[in-house]
Amino acid sequence: MSRIQETFRKLKRARRGGFIPFITVGDPDLATTERLLIELANSGADIIELGVPFSDPVADGEVIQRASERALRNGVTVQDALRCARNVTRRIDVPLVLFSYFNPLLQFGEERLALAASRAGIDAVLVTDLIPEEAGSWIQNLCRHRLDPIFLVAPTTSDKRLTQIAQQARGFIYAVSRAGVTGERDRMTRDAEILVRRIRSLSDLPVAVGFGISTAEQVTGVWRFADAAVIGSAIVREIEKLSHSPDPMKCVGEFVRSLIPPVQLSAFQ
């Protein structure tokens, strides 16, 4: 059983949904990223997504785009992301998902990446723009090194592709709450709930919902029909303000804790 599977089993026993924050490696710098990972783990994160900066993040809104730009100006690479993970896994016991577009990973090398990620303590890899029809060798490499391949599905995903993803995914399935790019939204649509129902008709894997979630109330809403909520842009926006804070880690920690609702049973647990 993978650490991600065990995490969701623990959440189910605790009768609560999961909280999955996202940050970009190297924003504002690598040393701060390592401190942020530890702070996120101490603030209640159940799983953490570690974003590899990319020059053309087409699925991301302006907040995460700016984070990638800042990290790339610092020269941050895939190797840096793996080193960052390796440095913190000795100090935290929270599963890490490497979150990336495919181009940087392809440049690094598929088999080399799987081996290096496993040695760094990464638990899963999510590639935003890799379609399941072209992911066969990629999935084999990840599974060979005991890494969970995570896939994104959207409200526009066809039944045929959704069926294929349900067969190939491990760990959990990431349901995009709406069409479009990442970014905070004032309210959630019913698209995510309908999508989660479609996924559950095909797979027993836990489902995490992301894109547009930015408040504790929205997390509560997601927990009513899914297993976990992912928050990225709202946290990355707080990190963007770090240079103006006298105690950056405390501010981020307090903000993250404010996003996690009291224990609440999901309708599907």
Residues 6 or more apart in contact with residue 15 via CB below 8 angstroms: 263, 265, 269
Residues 6 or more apart in contact with residue 244 via CB below 8 angstroms: none
Task: Give the separation between CA 175 and CA 178, rounded to whole angstroms.
Answer: 9
Task: Give the separation between CA 49 and CA 236, rounded to whole angstroms.
Answer: 12
Task: Give the separation between CA 77 and CA 83, rounded to whole angstroms.
Answer: 10
Of the residues 27, 39, 46, 49, only one is catalytic, namely: 49
For the chain, give the number of residues: 269
Of the residues 27, 39, 46, 60, only one is catalytic, namely: 60
CA nearest to 38, candidates 253, 267, 245: 253
Task: Give the separation between CA 38 and CA 41, rounded to whole angstroms.
Answer: 5
49 is catalytic: yes
DSSP H helix total and E strand total for the chain: 12, 9
- Cα dihedral 55, 56, 60, 66, rounded to 10, equals 40
**Which residues of 14-147 form beta strands (DSSP E)?**
18-24, 48-51, 96-100, 124-127
Task: Give the separation between CA 128 and CA 232, rounded to whole angstroms.
Answer: 14
Active site residues: 49, 60
